[in-house]
Amino acid sequence: MRTLAYSTFRENMKSEFQRCRDDAEPLLVSNRDERDNVVVMNARDYDALMETIRIYENPYLHDKILRGIEQVKAGKGVERKLIDA
């Protein structure tokens, strides 16, 4: 993860936002006091991260996904056609 000082980030905010968006790389914006540090990241990446956390926090869903992965690895996966709505 790249790190920039607050002052540098403030001077280049627009280009740094675009870089986070285009590169899908979070940016740590740091200050002398660590409690003031923030992370800037693409909203899509944030949404994906939060979804992953929700899956890991839900034991039933997490286990279901792991079982599905094991079934596919064992050759027990079933191909299905998508239904157009």
Interatomic CA distance for residues 24 and 5, integer angstroms: 20
Q: Is the pLDDT of residue 43 over 80?
A: yes
End-to-end CA distance of the chain: 41
Residue 83 pLDDT greater than 90, yes or no: no
pLDDT in tens, 55-80: 999 999 999 999 999 999 999 988 88
Phi, psi of 22 (to 5 degrees): -75, -35
Question: What residue spans define the domains of the chain?
Answer: 2-41, 44-73
- Class assignment of domain 2-41? alpha beta
pLDDT tops 80 at residue 10: yes
Q: Are 9 and 21 in contact (CB under 8 A)?
A: no
The whole model's pTM is what?
0.69
